[in-house]
Amino acid sequence: MALLTFPPSAFCIWFLLICSLCTFCFCKQNQDNVLCKANERLALIQFKNNLIDRTNRLSSWSGNDCCSWSGVVCDDGTGHVLEIRLRGPDDGLKGRCHGSYDTDDELEEASKHMLGGNISSSLIKLVQLRYLDLSCNDFKLIPVPAFIGSLKNLTYLNMSKSQFGGEVPQNLGNLSMLRVLALQDDMVFSNLHSNNLRWLRNLTQLQHLNMVGINLTEASDWLQIVEEIPKSLPNLCNLTTLDFNSNYFFGNVSELLERFCECESPKMELLAMRGNDLIGRLPRKLGRLKNLSSIDLAYNNLTGTIPDSVGSLSLLVTLQINVNKFEGSIPDTIGGLSSLVLLDLSFNKLNGSLPESIGQLGKLSFLTLHHNFLTGIVTENHFAKLTALGTLWIGDNILVFKLNANNWVPPFQLSVLRIGSCSLGPNFPSWVQSQTMLNELDLANANISDIIPHWFWTTFSTVTYLNISNNNIQGKLGDVSFLVQYAIVDLSSNHFNGLLPRNLNKPNLRFLDLSHNNISGSLGQFLCSEIQEPQSLEVLNMGYNNMSGVIPDCWMNWDYLVILNLEHNKVSGIIPSSLGKISSLKSLHMCNNKLSGNLPVSVLNSKSLVNVELAENGLTGRIPASIKGNSSSLKLLSLRSNHLEGKIPDEICRLTSIQILDLSLNDLFGNIPTCFTNFSVISGRLSPSPTVLYKIDYFNDVPQSVSLWIKGQMALYSTILYLVTTIDLSNNNLFGPIPNELGTLRGLRYLNLSRNDLSSSIPETIGEMGILETLDLSMNRLNGKIPIRLSRLASISLLNVSYNNLIGRIPTSTQLQSMSEYNFIGNALCGAPLSSCQQTSVDAEDTNSKSDESDGFDWILVICAVGGLIVGFWIIIATLFVSKQWRTAYYRYLDTTWINIISFFSLFTTWWAHRIIEAR
């Protein structure tokens, strides 16, 4: 048997193979036992010790192997820490951060899982750290640590929504390897800010930038910085995300957007600049950004049109350009957005018709086009394939719906249907009955003239917002059971009739407007029957109906009521004092009823009430003198046309916030208080603020309207109500002089003191009331002249001083001479606008004598002047005749004066002759 032999080369190969296998096995065994670096483990422990961890999220951070700790990722070969993932509340709490929770309890539960405290600089020792995520935590507005700019291997940094404050450290620009930078702040409070963005130039690898909510108002060169980035970022076209939402930016973004569209193969997926102050236009080649999945440019000042190329963005999921100034029509190419889920073009200036191609967007679930100028016909074709549609809000346009009312069944089931201010009538749209899943229904001002269908209340039992106001809908209000689920109900300005429902014990109801109908019934049964627990109602408007009965005293259960409007009904009885004790009540409107009794002092002492309208009732007694005025918010107090008597108490001046005070058409007497200077806005010490208004609609910004008697007529004020300042004391029995102090009310626009028994003269100080528009002093016993200072009233549009005892000429000014002569009759006045001088029968003789004195030659002045001349002359002449010494001195003075004059002229002549000779 021969021995098997190997050549030397084969032996070497086998030897090397065996050694390699042994080395591999040895290394593999060691690799399985690799632990994190000791110094890095200590750094993480120090980092943990500085954190606040209320739910012990970092309980696994113990032992020698930090690579096994929760949220820590190491390199398998070296043991270096590569990643720290400590994002706040996640899957178990719906993956949302601050401000996104439905209830306070949910937010509190989430807060327990958020890390807080301080971030230790020990993280600098993690020299290989590439990924750091501390988002969705709560660090109580501590600054973003500047040392993070030293972690130069970072490629991912996310500190969004973790309640950091102060300035963003500029040394983040040292992170040249960074691909993702997310610093999103709270979009409401903007705790973070940055004075410049020049450090962004160094982030040459950046692909995702999120600085939403950071205040960048001081970074005025932001647009220039962003445009300069490609000078050092050749892969601009590889940028996938640009997120600058709510940064308070301003500037023109047209060029920046055009540059993205110039890329041959742009990678941009998300373009977000919502909530800034940007101007500019969308690029015509916007369709070249083929990878875009989201465009959010809402709440800016962008102009121009929507480019036709937008239809090429087949991957676009959301398009939000609402609240801008876009014009023109919606391009028909919009039907090419096959992936579109959300489309919001509301609050622009778009016109033209609604393209039928929009009905091809099969994935569209959210469509809002409201508050534009769209016109034309809407048919079934506009909804042909919208099977996924859940929100349809296209109201506040001029669209006309012409659908097959008999057999058309929409392909969608909506949760929101808001098509108010579009034309749907005259019949009630029957296709709406198919929408059984609605939460919001708005058919207001839709030209519907019909009887409300019998199926209406049962079909929409799940609706929480219902608005069918401003139509001609008829029907009986019936039982209030239809309000069980509703939170907001507006049935105003229709033809509902019948008795008022028996009770309002509906725990979900927050807003109810039944005004301008023909509803009757007892107010007490409606408001208080069977109510035993606090109500959630905030706005109750039942004005302009036929309700009767007394106002019940059950307001202790209405803790959330903000507006109560019962005006123009037949409500009688007294005003219960408990009304003034509702801590949330801001507006109380009960004018034009049959109320009687005294005015409760609790109403005037309320700390919450801003508007109180009790005009045109039968209130009696005196205005309460026990007004405290402490922290009063009252701006409007109207007690016009009642039977109040007695003096106007000085204590009323404790209501320092008053802007509108109407006490006219009562039986008040005595002097006008001099303390109206305490009114801070009327006196001009403070500027008026819009807080006098309150929204009537929870979804639309509809302000309250208030009727005021101004310029001799009733006027309705709403949006500019907060600018009105007026004092109306007319039609009373006030006497005495007009206080000079009224002239210091530099913030007063309307002053009416007519039809009283005021005497004395018109104060000169009234001429200093710079913004006064109306001054009515007619039908009093004022005397003297019209102060010439009244010609300084540049804003005056109505001055009425008729039927007084005034005399003299009317001051000259453009405003006064342009008024009607009827504003000056019944006096002894002359001058334009009167066609002739007038006189009163009482003062005719006196007026004639004064007129002679003023218009004739002033003989007294002549006599005094001549007499003075004669006396002065003869005193000097007589003195010279009588005294020789005075006569000699007088002549010597004349001789000396004459010699001096001759000498002066002689010397001047000699000097001038020498000058002529020298010149030759």
The 10s digit of each residue's pLDDT in 288-312 is 999 999 999 999 999 999 999 999 9
Token pair, residue 591, equals 């004018």
Residue 94 pLDDT? 40
CB of 522 closer than 8 Å to CB of 498: no
Distance CA 623, CA 639 (A): 10
Domain covering 572-830 assigned CATH 3.40.190.10 in the classification: no
Distance CA 396, CA 470 (A): 13
**Mean pLDDT of all residues in 670-699:** 79
**Mean pLDDT of all residues in 514-525:** 86
Overall pTM > 0.75: no
Residue 82 pLDDT? 95
The ranges assigned to domains in the chain are 38-140, 475-561, 572-830
Answer with the residue of higher pLDDT: 829 or 89. 829
Beta strands at 270-272 and 294-296: parallel, antiparallel or unpaired: parallel
Confidence of residue 888 (pLDDT cuts 50, 70, 90): low
Confidence of residue 531 (pLDDT cuts 50, 70, 90): low
Q: Which CATH class is domain 475-561?
A: alpha beta
Residue 418 pLDDT? 95
Answer with the residue of higher pLDDT: 604 or 112. 604
Token pair, residue 579, equals 């009304």
Residue 107 pLDDT? 63
Residue 628 to residues 417, 639, 653, 765: CA-CA distances in angstroms? 49, 19, 10, 30
The 10s digit of each residue's pLDDT in 828-878 is 999 999 988 865 443 443 444 444 434 444 455 556 555 665 655 555 665
Residue 262 pLDDT? 86
pLDDT above 90 covers a percentage of the chain that reads 52
User: Checking phi first, is residue 644 left (phi over 0); if not, alpha (psi -120 to 50) or beta?
Assistant: beta
The 10s digit of each residue's pLDDT in 39-79 is 999 999 999 999 999 889 999 998 889 999 999 999 988 99
Distance CA 554, CA 532 (A): 10
Helices (H), 741-824: 814-817
Nearest Cα neighbor of 137 from 256, 51, 226, 37 is: 51
Residue 852 pLDDT? 40
Distance CA 505, CA 503 (A): 6
User: Checking phi first, is residue 803 left (phi over 0); if not, alpha (psi -120 to 50) or beta?
Assistant: left
Q: What is the 3-state secondary structure (H, E, C) of 289-303?
A: CCCCCEEECCCCCCE
Confidence of residue 622 (pLDDT cuts 50, 70, 90): very high
Residue 231 pLDDT? 76
Residue 778 to residues 306, 850, 874: CA-CA distances in angstroms? 60, 23, 57
DSSP designation for 452: P
Domain covering 38-140 assigned CATH 1.20.1440.120 in the classification: no
Beta strands in 249-397 (DSSP E): 250-252, 270-272, 277-279, 294-296, 318-320, 342-344, 351-353, 366-368, 373-378, 391-393
Kind and range of the H or E run holding 20: helix 8-32
Distance CA 798, CA 813 (A): 13
The 10s digit of each residue's pLDDT in 192-222 is 888 878 888 788 888 787 877 787 777 666 6
**Mean pLDDT of all residues in 426-433:** 90
Count CA atoms closer than 13 A to 781's CA, side-chain side.
11
The 10s digit of each residue's pLDDT in 379-409 is 999 999 999 999 999 999 999 999 875 678 9
Residue 845 pLDDT? 39
